[in-house]
Amino acid sequence: MKTTGYKSTAAILALAVAGAGLTGTAAQAQDKFKVYLSLSYSGNAWQSEAANIVKALAQTPPYNETVELKEVISGTDPQAQISAYESMIDEGADAIISFPISSTALNRTIKRGCDEGVLFFMYDATVTESCAYNVSYLSSGFGENSAQALVNELGGKGKIFLSRGVPGNSVDQRHTDGAMHIFNQYPGIEVVAEYYSYWDDRTTQQETAKALTAHPDVDGIWAQAGEYGAIQAMMDAGDRLVPMTGENSAGFRLALADPAMQEMGLSGVSAGSPPAQSGYAFKLAMEILTGARELEPTNIEYPLPWVPADMVKVCEGDSYEDGCNVFPPEKVPSSFVSEVLNPELLPEVNRESALNGTPVPGATIQALPAEVVVAGNEPGINCMRCDAPEDLYKLTKIEPTVQP
């Protein structure tokens, strides 16, 4: 039975004792937290990996005995995700871990759930309803930092493509706003094509190929996830590459460090969105549900990855050890998102967890660091009635080598 507020460890133990006289499924159903994994858009490696590590964590002791996890994929229609949330609330959800399709459209339903004691944790994408937690790297500045890196590579002038994500999503909007804040400072930078690639390699390849037909003389590409598809499109079109900034796919990260690719003109940096945010959100939610942590709803910042070509290091095993940050092609597909693992926050999962949603044999859930990093205000992104800081688009990873 669901009550207002979040279940404590004592409540779980009481349910377990009460269920001692029951047998089989009836007893198990009473002593587990009901947690939902709610995806909206799900059509790429990033979303699959983010979901897989939550599944792996939910199967890792002690959560394998205390968590009932259900995955729901609702697609890109906000109304479909609203309906999914409503069903979860009605079914007695203790927590909903979610990639939201909209920063505002879900707010009313989220507020209803909060009032009924449901814990909402959003990952990567954000909402503006203040009773929800947002775990996101949006405020760490992917758009502005990667744009400045591209400007530096191009010497402040050139024709560029913008390869965006999913229309209407807070992640895509924040990235593009930050990037354009930088590009608009350089009159020599000309955006000659802008397209939505849905954070997918195949779609990025197709859309970039179309843009190359009209602009074969492009000088650089600013891309969100799916960036390896842009490399493939250029390879199909000829024997040259251009400076490019993108996210964390294994294919892109390995290409940046490949001398042959560099000889063809490729340079840039691998930054972007970590699927590890989902696992971090899930573990934070579970620590609150079990009474191990007290945390008022807030915006929590996940750090921005930043791996230039000279920092790429290939891993020998199945985990990130000794500073490695990408797996070789014989271990993962080119679309594998390298920032799905985090040795500090998610030591319980490995490459197989990300690929297949399987727990690591012998692993147990480890406590998170006590402190969280509170993100800054992003009006319309992670807060509604709030003021943006004056340095909203400050550079944190790179300095301009070309003055505006």
Domains of the chain: 9-137+274-305+339-356 (3.40.50.2300), 141-270 (3.40.50.2300)
Q: What is the pLDDT of residues 332-358, one digit of tens each?
A: 999 999 999 999 999 999 999 999 999
User: pTM score, two decimals?
Assistant: 0.87
Instruction: For residues 9 and 39, give the distance between their C-alpha atoms in angstroms, rounded to a whole number.
Output: 28
> Cβ contacts of residue 62 below 8 Å, gap of 6+?
364, 365
> Residue 24 above 80 pLDDT?
no
Q: What is the pLDDT of residues 270-322, one digit of tens each?
A: 998 999 999 999 999 999 999 999 999 999 999 999 999 999 999 999 999 99
Instruction: For residues 396 and 388, give the distance between their C-alpha atoms in angstroms, rounded to a whole number.
Output: 17
Residue 6: what are its φ and ψ, rounded to 5°? -100, 145
Instruction: For residues 319 and 310, give the distance between their C-alpha atoms in angstroms, rounded to a whole number.
Output: 20
> Residue 7 above 50 pLDDT?
no
Which one has a higher pLDDT value, 245 or 5?
245
pLDDT band at 30 (very low <50, low <70, confident <90, very high): low
pLDDT band at 27 (very low <50, low <70, confident <90, very high): very low
> Residue 41 above 80 pLDDT?
no
Q: Residue 32, Cβ neighbours under 10 Å: how many? A: 19
